[in-house]
Amino acid sequence: MATLIQQIINGLSLGSIYALIAVGYSLVYSILMFSNFAHGGFLIIGGYFCYFALNSAGFNIWIAGFGALVGAGFAAVATERLTYKPIRERTSVTLYLLIASMGMNIVIENIFVIVAGGRFRALPPVIPTTPVHLFGNATTSALDLISLVTAFVFLGGLQLFLTKTKWGLAIRAAACDLRVAGLMGVNTSKLISIVFFVAGLLAAVGGIFLSVRYTLYPQLGMITIKAFVAAVIGGLGSLPGAVVGSLILGLSEMLTAGFLSSQLRDLVVFSLLVVTLIVRPTGLFGKDVKEKV
Amino acid sequence: MRKLFVLCMAAALCCTMAAGAMAEETVKIGYLAALTGDWAAYGQTEKNTAQLAVDEINAKGGIDGRKVELVVYDFRGRQEDAVNAVRRLLEEDKVSAIVGANASGINIATAALVNRAEVPQIGTVSTNPMVTVDRKGRVRPYSFRICFTDPYQGKLIAWFSAKELGKTKAAVLYDIASDYAQGLREFFIKSFKEYGGETVADEAFKGGQDVDFRAQLTKIREAGADVLVLPNMGKEMALIMKQARELGMDDLVFVGGDGYAEFMWEIAGKSMENSYWINHVSPSDPNMAKFFEDYKAKYNDECKEFVNGILGYDAMYWLFDAIDRADSTDPVKIAQALADTKDLQLHHATITMDEFHNPLNKDGIVLIAKDGKGQFFKKIKPE
């Protein structure tokens, strides 16, 4: 029983990190109808911003974290302006955006290989990782609990932004139909920038927590593949779907590794993806195309 | 003037004759090193240490009065260049023996050549069993190695865990994508059983992909393991140690192989403290202190690739001893002397050859991770 509780805690904390990343995928998908594979790049941009702000500039974690979030947000906006926008203006085929995003992911990764080097970097111990005992036998680290709480705070904040603000309304309108929203007087160019800014910001939150947990290196963005799978299972374009899909994925990974075999972990994850696509191609929460956000 | 000319000619002739006589008496040893390419750092170090050994023996008057001459060729980290270099050493330079390379794949590639030419070759860090035996398991008569093999390292880890640390319940967490890790795991489990221990958990991960090991660690904790064996390479081991401590597994002892690297400290931090690593050599082995001083004095640089440096250096000393015992520069006799090596005291270890040309019961060096670096702990020799 203690083992089960332990594995569930492990799964939830992994899932909460996936959720932060998966929501970024869903957000961009809901507006532009393509999966932005450069999201992993935004994540490492956030991680490296935070690392250098802490180590070279000597800021504390709050300022460094804030800087990393804003920096990654602007990097995401710049990526959109430089790469996706010119493509969007020339063609309406979203497949080209998808391919471009794959390229951008590699570009960003290699920029960091050149600038920062391929070696592993650990963030200074700014977030406590001490063991925390729960329910008697189960143990988790303080980092896991903090990342779980942070994930929910940011996702809650996003939900408020989408439902309570004018730009949130515009984003939801654009998620239904970007062109019509444009015709109704929404500045779509600005709207897309805001969406990318938010996606980059969320990726940076995930990036900081991932770099504390798994250390920072240019290929860290690879982990977003799992988050993307989670977004697909939850239903691409649905934010609650991204969260639920992530938690399901985190739990199934940990329970498979814990009770069956660690070798079967990825097999189960990707089988889950295939089964979802066969049984319910829109994902768990993707039932109505008109309610994507 | 004419007289002077004759005198000069005579002097020159004498010199040439003397040189000719000298040349006959030198012992020519070939060295196969990667001086350029990806492995250049290792190869340069090996070349330097081999030259250091040669200079030392020549300063003492050589082997039985014969000076040693080192012929070094670059194989650029590539098999085809290694084959060409060895061919040249055998056919043009007519060396008595070859030392190098520092990689199993290269030694396996050149094995056919040296065995046909009947000239012995000593691998420095070539740990794969295939270096000295062929596909059918027969020994290659002219192929040798100075390092221990992967199976033997598994045995060393088992012996250290069971006998030195007194642990009886081991867990293994290994990289399923690595032949090296799989081999080490297999031989560890087998030997650990022989030493009276039990492997209570045998878990795997995918190297280069997985970064989260908490599911496996939770299982290991449930199984009640008191020692965790990590037969992998740097990054994953550091993450495993860090995550284990985060899960509150404070009493679990970590024992690893030669995948130890200094950069792991940055990832694992103080989780590294008091972990043990079974390696070929140690930079702080007291027996090697003079070697490191001499190296620094001669090359004005630290011997950073110390595993290569020490093994290359001692491979030369092993060969000097064999030539001395063979009392000949004939490659066949030298090979026989190498194969007959028994209880030879080198700098880093005492070696005895087994029938498959691997050092038998070689000392393993245990490093302990302490105070932010890997330090010499002790030498071990399993019974």
CA-CA distance, A151 to A247, in Å (whole number)? Answer: 12
Looking only at the bridges linking them, the beta strands covering B276-279 and B227-230 are unpaired
CA-CA distance, B192 to B158, in Å (whole number)? Answer: 5
B14 pLDDT higher than 60: no
- The one-letter code for the residue type at A268 is V
DSSP assignments along A96-144, one per residue: HHHHHHHHHHHHHHHHHHHHH-SS-B---S-S---EEEETTTEEEEHHH
Lowest mean per-residue pLDDT among A132-141, B241-250, B278-287, B321-330: A132-141
Phi, psi (rounded to 5 degrees) for B16: -60, -45
What is the mean predicted confidence (pLDDT) over A193-217?
90
Residues on B contacting A at a C-beta cutoff of 8 Å: 176, 203-206, 209-212, 214-216, 218-219, 222, 235, 238-239, 242, 245-248, 263, 266-267, 269
Could you give the strand order of the β-sheet that contains B364-370, starting from the edge strand earlier in sequence?
B198-205, B169-175, B227-230, B253-256, B276-279, B364-370, B373-380
Q: pLDDT digits over B81-91, tens only?
A: 999 999 999 99
B320 pLDDT higher than 50: yes
> pLDDT tier at A291 (50, 70, 90 boundaries)?
very low
Is A105 within 8 Å of chain B by CB? no
B17 pLDDT higher than 70: no
Measured from the Cβ of residue B233, the count of other Cβ atoms closer than 10 Å reads 20
CA-CA distance, B315 to B146, in Å (whole number)? Answer: 6
Q: What is the ipTM of this complex?
A: 0.78
- Percent of chain B's residues with pLDDT above 70: 94
Phi, psi (rounded to 5 degrees) for B81: -70, -35
Please tell me the predicted confidence (pLDDT) of residue B3. 58
Q: Collapse the DSSP code of B35 into the 3-class scheme (helix H, G, I; strand E, B; otherwise coil) and give the result.
A: coil
Question: Pick from B215, B235, B238: which is nearest to A7 by CB?
Answer: B215
Q: Collapse the DSSP code of B287 into the 3-class scheme (helix H, G, I; strand E, B; otherwise coil) and give the result.
A: helix
Please tell me the predicted confidence (pLDDT) of residue B111. 94
What is the mean predicted confidence (pLDDT) over A194-211?
91
Looking only at the bridges linking them, the beta strands covering B276-279 and B364-370 are antiparallel
CA-CA distance, A205 to A266, in Å (whole number)? Answer: 25
Chain A positions in Cβ-Cβ contact with residue B248 (cut-off 8 Å): 131, 133, 139
CB B365 within 8 A of CB B379: yes
Strand partners, B276: B255, B368
Please tell me the predicted confidence (pLDDT) of residue B200. 95
Nearest CA distance, A114 vs chain B (angstrom): 18
B339 pLDDT higher than 60: yes
Q: pLDDT digits over B23-60, tens only?
A: 457 899 999 999 988 788 889 999 999 999 999 999 99
Q: What is the pTM of this model?
A: 0.76
CA-CA distance, B366 to A211, in Å (whole number)? Answer: 31
Phi, psi (rounded to 5 degrees) for B248: 80, 15
Please tell me the predicted confidence (pLDDT) of residue B22. 47
H or E element that contains B277: strand B276-279
How remote is the C-alpha of B253 from its chain's centroid?
A: 26
* HSE, side-chain direction, 13 A CA sphere, residue B303: 30
CA-CA distance, A220 to A214, in Å (whole number)? Answer: 8
What is the mean predicted confidence (pLDDT) over B359-373?
89
What is the mean predicted confidence (pLDDT) over A186-210?
91
What is the mean predicted confidence (pLDDT) over B7-34?
66
Q: Measured on CA atoms in the order A49, A50, A51, A56, is the torsion positive or negative?
A: positive
CA-CA distance, B191 to B149, in Å (whole number)? Answer: 14
Please tell me the predicted confidence (pLDDT) of residue B123. 95
Nearest CA distance, B77 vs chain A (angstrom): 21
CA-CA distance, B146 to B358, in Å (whole number)? Answer: 7
A78 pLDDT higher than 80: yes
Tell me the Cα Rg of chain A. 19
What is the mean predicted confidence (pLDDT) over A48-53?
91
Q: Collapse the DSSP code of B244 into the 3-class scheme (helix H, G, I; strand E, B; otherwise coil) and give the result.
A: helix
Taking alpha carbons only, the member of A9, A267, A230 closest to residue A138 is A9
Q: Note whether A125 contacts B269, CB cutoff 8 Å.
A: yes
Is A7 within 8 Å of chain B by CB? yes
What is the mean predicted confidence (pLDDT) over A207-230?
87
CA distances from A281 to A235, A254, A284, A285, A287 (A): 8, 25, 9, 10, 10
What is the mean predicted confidence (pLDDT) over B225-237?
89
DSSP assignments along B301-317, one per residue: S---SHHHHHHHHHHHH
Lowest mean per-residue pLDDT among A47-61, A187-201, B22-36: B22-36
B109 pLDDT higher than 60: yes
Is A137 within 8 Å of chain B by CB? no
Chain B residue with minimum CA distance to A222: B209
What is the mean predicted confidence (pLDDT) over A254-275?
88
CA-CA distance, B344 to B352, in Å (whole number)? Answer: 7
> pLDDT tier at B20 (50, 70, 90 boundaries)?
very low
**If contacts are CB pairs under 8 Å, which of residues 221-240 in chain A contact chain B?**
222-223
* HSE, side-chain direction, 13 A CA sphere, residue A219: 8
- The one-letter code for the residue type at B64 is D
> pLDDT tier at B5 (50, 70, 90 boundaries)?
low
Strand partners, B74: B33
Higher pLDDT, B19 or B109: B109
CA distances from B167 to B163, B220, B230, B363 (A): 8, 15, 15, 21
Most confident of A91-95, B279-283, B331-335: B331-335
Please tell me the predicted confidence (pLDDT) of residue B105. 86
Measured from the Cβ of residue A45, the count of other Cβ atoms closer than 10 Å reads 27
Burial of residue A123, with CB atoms counted within 10 A of its CB: 0-12 exposed, 13-18 middle, 19 or more buried:
buried
Chain A positions in Cβ-Cβ contact with residue B203 (cut-off 8 Å): 262
Please tell me the predicted confidence (pLDDT) of residue B154. 92
Which two tokens mark A223? 């982990």
CA distances from B248 to A129, A131, A134, B124, B169 (A): 10, 5, 12, 41, 18
What is the mean predicted confidence (pLDDT) over B243-272?
88
Question: Pick from A121, A258, A261: which is nearest to B266 by CB?
Answer: A121
Please tell me the predicted confidence (pLDDT) of residue B10. 56
B280 pLDDT higher than 50: yes
A167 pLDDT higher than 60: yes
Tracing tokens 């949130």 back to the chain, one arrives at: A168
